[in-house]
Amino acid sequence: MVSSEIQRKYISKGPEETKDIGYRLGRLLNPGDIVGLYGELGAGKTTMVKGIARALGLDERDVVSASFTIITEYDTSPPFLHIDLYRVKSDEELDEIGLWDYLKTGNIAVIEWAEKAEKEITEELIKVKIKPVDENVREITLEGKYEKDRDNL
Amino acid sequence: MLVLGIDTSCDDTSASVVENGIKTLSNIISSQIEIHKKYGGIVPELASRRHIEMIWPVVDEALTNAGIKLEDLSGIAVCHGPGLIGSLLVGCSFAKAICYCRGIPLVAVNHLEGHIFSSFLEDPGPSFPFLALIVSGGHTCLYMIAGFGKYRELGRTRDDAAGEAYDKVSKLLGLGYPGGPVIDKLAQKGNPKAIDFPRAYLPESLDFSFSGIKTAVLNFLKSKKESRVKGQQSTKQSLVSSHSSLVEPCDQCPVTGDKSYFSLSDIAASFQAAIVDVLVRKTEWAIKKEHIKRVVLSGGVAANSELRKMMKEMAEERGVEIFIPAISLCTDNAAMIAAAGYQHLVSGNIAGLDLNPRAYMPL
């Protein structure tokens, strides 16, 4: 995609700022949108999900790690899916967890460890890459769908 | 009064018959650990399929072992959440179907409520009010329990559950799933003071946070890898080959004598100490804050030997009575669902046949 050359880059100085960027991104999401979160263990992916969830009307305290359940569905309108593919190892397992049924409908989905599914996802992802700079600081890059709307998050 | 309990909230299919909410007549648990091991955790879709296969035989065995028939039951208690939605659905549909065709009252039990009432299956059980700490792979929460149905949440995890931290760190160390038992065992041989992993006490509240510690373990492993590469020490061990596989343990570098090389058991012991410290200290804070004299510890992580030991020591120092059910009652089981279900039944809190399970369901 030629227009995707420019990436939107933000620097977060700590978890609260990461949540805040998540919140501002969350407010711009539409039903059917899929956000892919990229970043190593401890980068702050779940922290960002808390911010996104707050924008959708959830209490961020209710949003916890989804590594255990893999898919956590929240009763919002539209439904919000917090998906965490940390434990998933193969494409076959993506079928087994029922991922495709969840992504079909007009939900808003956030997928942690999205690299494990991106080849299989046909919809264009909103990609959020979180890179640790030091213990607290993170470089956050946004790419993909409606990128141009995200200049001033 | 006989109650059949059914729990399919996670990876274990369990059924149990309990008399009067306190006496376990049978408690059958069919574990799926072998199935999920290769995935490094529970795979929801696999779990629900397995529940479908296991539910009848498990319920059958629970009734047979208790020496009773369906018509002897005063009620069927089923766990309807929180848990994996597909798994919960199996137990709920099964319970509803039997209740409907046999005219047996149905009661719905919150899984966390079940963990609280597991303590009543031991003799002596606690009397109200008490503090309950529930720690498992999916939950870490503190409640004030004033009586049946009178629960006040004091704190819960803001990110990872304590058991989840065990599973994630176990994966980092290349020890597989589930992480609790293997880390607990390794930790016995290690030095808990070897590495000072951070403790997130969150002093302003009784909430927990266990996501930082897995990051700390990861950073620790990475720093060991880097220092080894930089220093070019020609030791026989390769401490970290990648994020997911560590290891040949070595207490001391055989060449340089460098003690910064920690054994796997030191890492396990230090990690475990950090988790247990936080759980015990925060329970202690809650005891002080609530001026409470009784504490119940339950959930899968309550099977951890160090946690059991440190909780007992703390309780003794504070002059508080502590109730920790047997390990088989701490991990997921249906006896606890039947025990809590009995309370619902005698309170007349009967569920309708339109009962639906919910994955997310605060107590």
Which position has the higher pLDDT, B290 or B30?
A: B290
- The tally of CA atoms less than 13 A away on the side-chain side of residue B149 is 10
Copy the structure tokens of residue B199. 């403790």
| Pair of tokens at residue A5 | 């050359």
Residues near B3 by Cβ (< 8 Å), separated by ≥ 6?
B17, B18, B19, B21, B73, B74, B75, B76, B77, B107, B338, B341, B342, B345
Do residue B41 and residue A98 have CB atoms under 8 angstroms apart? no
CA–CA separation, A82 vs A125, rounded Å?
Answer: 15
Residues B273 and A34: their CA atoms lie apart, in Å, by 39
Mean pLDDT of B285-300: 97
- Contact of B138 with chain A, judged by CB distance below 8 Å, is answered with yes
**Mean pLDDT lowest among B33-47, B60-74, B120-134, B343-357:** B33-47
Nearest CB neighbour to B45, from listed A62, A65, A96: A96
Contact B339, B323 (CB under 8 A): no
Chain A interface with B: residues with Cβ < 8 Å: 40-42, 46-47, 61-62, 64-65, 67-75, 86-89, 93, 96-98
Kindly list the structural domains of chain B, giving each domain's residue range(s) and its CATH number in brackets, ordered by start. 2-122+327-346 (3.30.420.40), 140-231+241-323 (3.30.420.40)
The secondary structure of A13-35 as a DSSP string is: -SHHHHHHHHHHHHHT--TT-EE
Q: Which residue has the higher pLDDT, B22 or B243?
A: B22
Contact B43, B57 (CB under 8 A): no
More confident residue, B34 or B287: B287
**Model confidence band, residue B167 (pLDDT cutoffs 50, 70, 90):** very high
Nearest Cα to Cα of residue B363 among B3, B15, B7, B117? B117
| Over residues B26-52, mean pLDDT | 78
> What is the least distance, in Å, from the CA of A28 to any CA of chain B?
24
Is the model's pLDDT at B233 over the cut of 80? no
User: Which residue has better confidence, A147 or B280?
Assistant: B280
CB contact under 8 A, A67 and B164: yes
CA dist B32 and B196 (Å) reads: 35
* Of residues B235 and B262, more confidently modeled: B262
Question: Among A118-127, B15-24, B85-94, which range has the highest average pLDDT?
Answer: B15-24
Using CA coordinates, name the residue in chain A closest to B159.
A64
CB-count exposure of residue B262 (10 Å: 0-12, 13-18, 19+): buried
Q: What is the mean pLDDT of residues B97-115?
A: 97
- Selected for mutation to probe chain A from B85, B158, B170 (highest A CB count within 10 Å) is B158
Residue located via tokens 């979180």: A130
**Separation in Å, CA of A108 to nearest CA in chain B:** 17
Element housing B130 (H / E): strand B130-135
Q: Determine the pLDDT at residue B56.
A: 94
The pLDDT value recorded for residue B242 is: 37
| B129 near A CB under 8 A | no
DSSP assignment letter at B351:
P
pLDDT in tens, B174-186: 898 889 999 999 9
Calculate mean pLDDT across residues A63-74: 86
Residues of B with Cβ-Cβ distance to A74 under 8 angstroms: 360
Q: According to the model, what pLDDT value does residue A128 have?
A: 95
Nearest-CA distance A120 → chain B (Å) = 19
Instruction: Supply the mean pLDDT for chain A.
Output: 87
Average pLDDT in chain B? 89
Cβ atoms of B165 and B275 closer than 8 Å? yes
* Weakest mean pLDDT among A75-79, B152-156, B162-166, B339-343: A75-79
Q: Say whether residue B254 is in contact with chain A using an 8 A CB cutoff.
A: no
pLDDT grade for B70, boundaries at 50, 70 and 90: very high
Report pLDDT for B120: 98
**Cβ neighbours, 10 Å, residue B251:** 14
Residue in chain A lying closest to B40 (CA):
A87
Q: Is the pLDDT of residue B204 over 50?
A: yes
